[in-house]
Structure formats: structure tokens, C-alpha cells
Amino acid sequence: MKSVSPRGCARGCAVGALLAACVVDVLYAGSDGTSVLPTASPVWPTLAVLLVGLSAVLWPAGRRPEWLTPQVRTAVPALVSGLYSVGCLATLKANTFGPGEVLILLCLLFVAVRHCPPRAAWVCGALDAGALMLLPVRYLGPLDANVLGLMLVGLVLIGLFGGFAVYLRTMDYRRTLAVSETRRGERVAIAADLHDFVAHHVTGILVQTQVARMMAQTRPHELDPVLAGIERAATEALASMRRTVGVLRDSGDQASDRRPVGDLAGIAELTDGFASPVQQVTLRRDPAVSDDLPHEVQAAAFRVVQEALTNIRRHAADAIHVEVRLRDDAGRLEVSVADDGRGGTQLPAAAHGGGFGLVGLKERVTALGGELQAGPRGGAGWEVRAVFPAGALRG
């Protein structure tokens, strides 16, 4: 036996109440003593109006044809009801109306205001409201105190239903805007990741190519490790670009799951890929630093190491030894990258970057409550050091 959800039960009750109200309309139409069956009875026009309105309101969303747009659904029943009221006025033959037609027009007003395109919402909503305001005139004839009283009630109902629809439409718009901004921010971050990854790998390719050119003259038999490093860096750069471009081409719903960010495990691969015959990289990791840190902390730590190594290649190609440290400093995560270079580099000026890498890195670290420092070491070399707040190691 299938269970009925509260939402489905509420919908069923609403549909039942609407149908019951329409039955009341039919009974009102036949209350003048005439039979419901003869074609001359006022029941038949009422039935026609109600059937058109019910079809527009209750037609299942999954089975609606393409031509049955919200504009058609809300405008046609209102026109039918309005023409019926105008016909009664033209023939000076009053006719009744009941709660069914009122509820139908109010439901269609709600649909028009919430779901129709902006310009069509005004037109379709005005048609539904106008048809609703004509109902008292159809029943009571020319304007008098009773008609004005019923019209005032109609205005109140129009205001309530229309206002609620406007509120929900505004909430939908804000939600859509928030989702769009989130996706846009994610794509901007993905583009920044693409720059970080590719810049790191391409700079490595450039440096190792220069090393290979020098070794080709003096130590050609030792070229194979250098060429293997160039191949590995090129492969990783292509994989990063392919992965990131694939994310950008998607709708953005799963972008965060495929975003090519790094972690603490990736730092080891980063340092291994950085090493070359003329540069040694040592990774010292405190055993107290676990792999269960928050994802954003691991990604920021990876970026610190990546940016620091990239800057060493750009600005301190003469460095012989580079040390990367990850340690637990009284509950804080400390990440540092130090080199012994003196700033000598033969890279082309275009490969030096724009100088904003550390600026963006500082923003990333401080956003997590950490601190970033970069400056010369005592003697020779440069050090980049980031400290993340207490409690970071507890994930």
C-alpha cells in the first residue's frame, strides 16, 4: 500500500474543494426553477466557463502541450468569463456566479503573476482581475451599493492572491540570482585554478628546457631525466586544462565536485615534480599533520606551496636547495617554503608573471583566518610562510 505524502494530500484536498465550489456554481445557475438538462437553461454557459477554467487550472504539468503556455492558460478563461459577463449585460439578463468561478479566476491570477513573462504577467493578471470584477455586475446589474461592496471584496482578494504571487516570484528571482552568482564565482575560481596549475607546469617546462639546452653541451648522457620531467609537466598541464575546460563547459551544477584543487597529498607530488638535476627539494612533514584537515585548508596549503615553487622558478632559478615544511605549531598548521637562491634567473621577462600571485594567495589565506608572510631569509634565499588558525588541524 502506497503512502500519500502531506503535499499530495493537501493538493488533493485543494482540488476537491475547487470541484465542490464549481458544483455550487452549477446549482446556483439552476436555482431559477429551470431544469438542468434543457439547452435553454443558464446552467450550460456556466458549465462552459467552469470547464475552460478547470482545464487551465488542473491540467497536469507533465501532459500540457507546448501551445498551452502560462499566457494561454490564464488569458483564455478570463476572456471567456469576461465575454459571458458582457453578454449578460448586453442582453440585460442577469445570471448568477458562485465560489467556483471566483476561485478559478483567483488561481489563474496567481499563475499569471508568478509564472508568466514580466510583460505578459501584467496583461494576463489584468484580464483575470477584470473578469473577477465583472462577476458582481453580471449578477446584480448596474452599479449600486451591493455591487460596489462585492467589488471591494474582490479587490481585497485580488490584492492578497496577487501580493502572495509577487512575493513568491521575488523569492524565485532572488534564488535564481543567488545560484547564478554562485556559479559565476565558482567559474571565476576555476579560471584562477587553471592559471595556477598551468602557470606552474609551463614555468617548469621552460626552466627544464633551459637546463636541457645547457646539459646538451656538457652532459648529454644525463638528459633523459630532464626530458622526462618536461614530458611529465606538459602532460599534467594538458590534463589540468582539459579537466578545467570540461568543467567550464558544463552547466555548473557539479563544478564544485570536479574542481581541480589540490590537497596535502598533492604537495608531495608537487615537490617531486619540481625537483631537477640542479635543484633539490626536501619535504618535511610533521607526523601530527593528518590528512583529515578541512578541504579549504588543504587547498590553501597546496596553493601556498605551488605559488612559492613557481616564484622560485621565475625569480630564483639559481637556487640549489628548496625546503618545504608542514608542521603542527601548537594546534596551528604552518606551511613554509624556503630556498637558498640569490635571485639570479634567465627567464624571459614575459615569463615572470604579473606580480599578483602572492596578493591573491594572501587573500585566500586570510579568508580562512590565517596569516601569510613572504620575505628574504637571513643570509641568502627567500621564504614564504603561512600559518592557519588554531583548530585547523582538528578538521
Residue 323 vs residue 45, higher pLDDT: 323
As given in the structure block, the three cell numbers for residue 269 are: 607530488
Domain edges within the chain: 6-142, 263-395
* Fold of domain 263-395: Heat Shock Protein 90 (3.30.565)
Structure confidence by residue, pLDDT tens digits, 228-245: 777 777 776 676 666 556
Q: Is pLDDT at 123 greater than 90 in this prediction?
A: yes
C-alpha distance across the termini of the chain, in Å: 45
Q: Is pLDDT at 252 greater than 50 in this prediction?
A: no
Structure confidence by residue, pLDDT tens digits, 58-109: 998 888 888 989 999 999 999 999 998 888 877 766 667 778 899 999 999 9
| Strand, helix or coil for residue 334 | strand
Give the C-alpha separation, 186 to 257, whole Å.
11
Going by DSSP bridges, is the β-strand pair 382-388/332-339 parallel, antiparallel, or unpaired? antiparallel
Average pLDDT over residues 366-391: 82
Structure confidence by residue, pLDDT tens digits, 141-198: 666 677 788 889 989 999 999 999 999 999 988 988 887 776 677 667 666 666 666 6
Are 354 and 312 within 8 A, CB to CB?
no
Average pLDDT over residues 306-326: 84
- In the 8-state DSSP scheme, what is residue 5? P
- Dihedral through CA 167, CA 173, CA 179, CA 181, nearest 10? -120
The candidate with the shortest Cα–Cα distance to 323, out of 336, 311, 334, 333, is 336
Are 361 and 374 within 8 A, CB to CB?
no
pTM of the model: 0.51
For the ranges 17-21, 298-302, 355-359, which has the lowest average pLDDT?
355-359
Give the C-alpha separation, 203 to 196, whole Å.
11
Residue 343, pLDDT score: 67
